[in-house]
Amino acid sequence: MTASPATTASSRLFPPRLFPLFADLRGRRVLVVGAGSVAARKIRALLDTGAAIVVVAVAAGDEVLALAADGRIELALAAFDETQLDDAWFVVAATNDVVTNARIAAAAEARRVFANVVDDAALSTVQLPAVVNRGRLQVAISSAGAAPMLARHVRAQIETLLDESLGDLLELFERHRDAIRARWSDLPQRRRWFERVLTGVVPRLVRAKQHIAADIALQDALDNDAVEHQGSVVLVGAGPGDPGLLTLRALRALNEADVILHDHLVSADVLALARRDATFIDVGKQAGQHRVEQDGIHALMIEHAQRGARVVRLKGGDPFVFGRGGEELEALRAEGIRYEVVPGITAANACAAYAGIPLTHRDHAQSVRLVTAHCGKSADRLDWNGLAQDRQTLAFYMGVAGLERIRDRLVAHGRAASTPFAIVENGSRADQRVVTGTLAELPEIARDHAVRSPALLILGEVAALADELHWFGAPPLSGRCHDLPVPSLPLERAA
Ligand code: SAH
């Protein structure tokens, strides 16, 4: 027997794969048999398609009843019979009775109506994919029913990759569809134009919800052909170190970046997630070592953006909390460079969470203050009277060197010497340490444990909760070292 080229090709793909289709169901009758929670899930997937959904079931669950009451579906409380398939384009068998489901599949097959039988790939002539939706832009994933969990896993990965604004971008392109076709009748040329637009300013404007500006930029790109290729800067908060604390936006910006300017506070684990062929520039300062001055950072951002690069300015924590993000935006604005800001989890949030310290608490603290006191001059400008009030939590950034002054001023202004504190060193990282005690002994305890930067001081009644609520890394070290029953690792490290 000689095989035709077609059978040879398909036998290599055995078992055959499914053919992906996107069906236009507007106004078309879709029958769903069953009205429990599984059926409801399928019905939900069908609702936004404009299909005329008819549900047949002997009994219906609350969700299906509510949809019927709202007039969004038609519900018939009846047993399945074949005539219900008349005029149907598609049927979903979602009863909990395998015999009925098989009967539906057979009847559908006989009438050439596509059928999906829940949890039964063999009986189904169509399968419903796992879907990532961005408005009308959809990515559908199928494992041919062989491994739905794998499809779901892939779906989750794609969810993280695709920006939410893609649905809006689709609507924008549709509005200009005729003009685009008229301008570029030649397909390869049209394709190249799309490529340029998609890497230009338009998607960025849509992401920033500047819909009118995006419309104008697209119109410009059509009229002048030249797509604006000005670079841009995204100020991204990298969080405290644990890469799991990045936002999806941050991850996407790191994926797109041509140039990444990062601080020393940005962890290696976070940098490892960035686009491999991006240019990495370390502008961080490490005590005693050379660092790029703030003006130099501005110049670098501007230079790369003006050359058309997508620059990510990556900062520890949040860019707007003691991160000089404001100054950087001013510098960009002065040069007319587009920017976006992606917030990050600031050290106070992260350290508190990872040490089991709620920053506010009904019984102990009704407000939180983020404070920095890294040098004498800035400490003198602080409102120590206000900071010494009780029932508030203070989070001191960059405070390791000035702990004595913090203690003395707070106590002098009336904060109780018995107020608990916790110092969180390397918060959220593998080497996180938490040291606790009371304000009276703050500098001494920190010195005993050789606390080093980066460390955050949390002061207030809530700090005492770390002893009970800690969950991450080593348990808190409390008090002075001579109180400790056994000399511990930090002591060795201090030596
Ligand atoms: N923009 C950053 C803060 C920069 S100032 C943010 O929002 O977190 C630098 C100070 O932040 C450090 O001196 C330290 O006090 C604190 N800090 C940053 N990351 C930290 C971490 N992982 N653990 C403890 N403190 C941290």
Q: Which of 370, 397, 459 to mutate to test the pocket of ligand 1 (most atoms within 8 A of CB)?
A: 397
Cβ of 325 below 6 Å from ligand 1: no
The string of pLDDT tens digits covering residues 155-171 is 999 999 899 999 999 99
Say how far apart CA 271 and CA 341 lie, in whole Å.
Answer: 18
Which residue owns the Cα nearest ligand 1 atom 3? 322
For the cut 70, the answer to whether the pLDDT of residue 10 exceeds it is no
Catalytic site residue from 168, 263, 318, 448: 263
Q: Write the burial class of residue 440 (CB in 10 Å: 0-12 exposed, 13-18 middle, 19+ buried).
A: middle
Q: Is 285 a catalytic residue?
A: yes
DSSP string, 184-220: --SHHHHHHHHHHHHTSHHHHHHHTT-HHHHHHHHHH
Q: Which residues pair with 368 in a beta bridge?
A: 393
Ligand 1 closest atom vs CA 344? 7
Structure tokens at 338: 């587009």
Atom 24 (ligand 1) nearest CA:
455
Q: How far apart are the C-alpha atoms of 213 and 170, rounded to whole Å?
A: 16
Residue 41 has a pLDDT of 95
443 pocket-lining for ligand 1 (C-beta < 6 Å): no
Residues 6+ apart with CB under 8 A from 251: 160, 273
Residue scoring higher pLDDT (429 or 265): 429
- Taken in order 253, 254, 260, 265, the sign of the CA dihedral is positive
Contact 322 CB / ligand 1 (< 6 Å): yes
Instruction: Please check the confidence at residue 419 and state whether its pLDDT lies above 50.
Output: yes
81 is catalytic: no
Distance between CA atoms of 158 and 400, rounded to whole angstroms? 42
- pLDDT value of residue 22: 95
Pocket test for ligand 1, best of 236, 263, 265 (most atoms within 8 A of CB): 265
Q: Is 265's C-beta closer than 6 angstroms to any atom of ligand 1?
A: yes
Q: Which atom of ligand 1 is nearest to the CA of 319?
A: 1
Do residues 125 and 114 make contact, with C-beta atoms less than 8 angstroms apart? yes
> Which residue's alpha carbon is at the smallest distance from atom 2 of ligand 1?
317
Q: Can you list the positions of beta strands (E) in 246-390?
A: 259-262, 279-282, 310-315, 338-342, 367-372
Protein residue with least CA distance to atom 6, ligand 1? 317
Q: Are 243 and 273 in contact (CB under 8 A)?
A: yes
Instruction: Report the DSSP beta bridge partners of residue 470.
Output: none
Neighbours of 366 (CB within 10 A): 11
DSSP code at position 61 = -
Q: Report DSSP letters for 305-327, one per residue.
A: HHTT-EEEEEESB-TTSSS-HHH
312 in Cβ contact with 257 (< 8 Å) = yes
Q: Residue 495: which pLDDT band, with cuts at 50, 70 and 90?
A: very low
Peptide bond into 15 cis (omega under 30): yes
For the whole model, what pTM was predicted? 0.79
Dihedral angle, C-alpha 408, 409, 415, 419, nearest 10 °: -50
**pLDDT at residue 146, rounded to an integer:** 87
pLDDT in tens, 431-450: 999 999 999 999 999 999 99
pLDDT tens-place string over residues 275-307: 999 999 999 855 445 667 899 999 999 999 999
Cα radius of gyration (the chain): 31
Rounded Cα distance between 475 and 459, Å, is 18
Q: pLDDT band at 400, cuts 50/70/90?
A: confident
Q: Decide if 442 contacts 455 (C-beta within 8 A).
A: no
Under a CB-based contact definition with an 8 Å cutoff, are residues 376 and 404 in contact?
no
Q: Measuring from atom 25 of ligand 1, which residue has the nearest CA?
A: 455
Distance, CA of 426 to CA of 434 (rounded, Å):
9
Compute the mean pLDDT over every residue in the chain, rounded to the nearest whole number.
91
Encode pLDDT of 339-358 as tens digits: 999 999 999 999 999 999 99
pLDDT in tens, 60-69: 999 999 999 9
Q: Is the pLDDT of residue 1 over 70?
A: no
Of the listed ranges 137-141, 371-375, 396-400, the least confidently predicted one is: 371-375
Please answer whether residues 436 and 424 qualify as being in contact, where contact means their C-beta atoms are separated by less than 8 angstroms: no
Q: HSE (CB half, 13 Å, CA atoms) of 428?
A: 26
Q: Is the minimum distance from the CB of 321 to ligand 1 under 6 angstroms?
A: yes
**Distance, CA 454 to ligand 1 centroid (Å)?**
6
Per-residue confidence (pLDDT) for residue 8, from 0 to 100: 53
Rounded to an integer, what distance in angstroms lies between the CA atom of residue 468 and that of residue 464?
Answer: 8
| Ligand 1 pocket member 346 (CB < 6 A) | yes
318 lines ligand 1 (CB under 6 A): yes
Closest CA to 387 of 410, 417, 359: 410
Tell me which amino acid residue 398 is: M
Nearest alpha carbon to residue 450 among 403, 490, 394: 490
Determine whether the shortest distance from the Cβ of 328 to ligand 1 is under 6 A.
no
| Pocket mutation for ligand 1, best pick of 318, 435, 456 (most atoms within 8 Å of C-beta) | 456
Per-residue pLDDT at 492 exceeds 50: no
* Cα–ligand 1 centroid distance for 440 (angstroms): 24
Distance CA 75, CA 64 (A): 8
Q: Which residues contact 178 (CB under 8 A, 6 or more apart)?
A: none
Cβ neighbours for 495, distance < 8 A, ≥ 6 positions apart: none
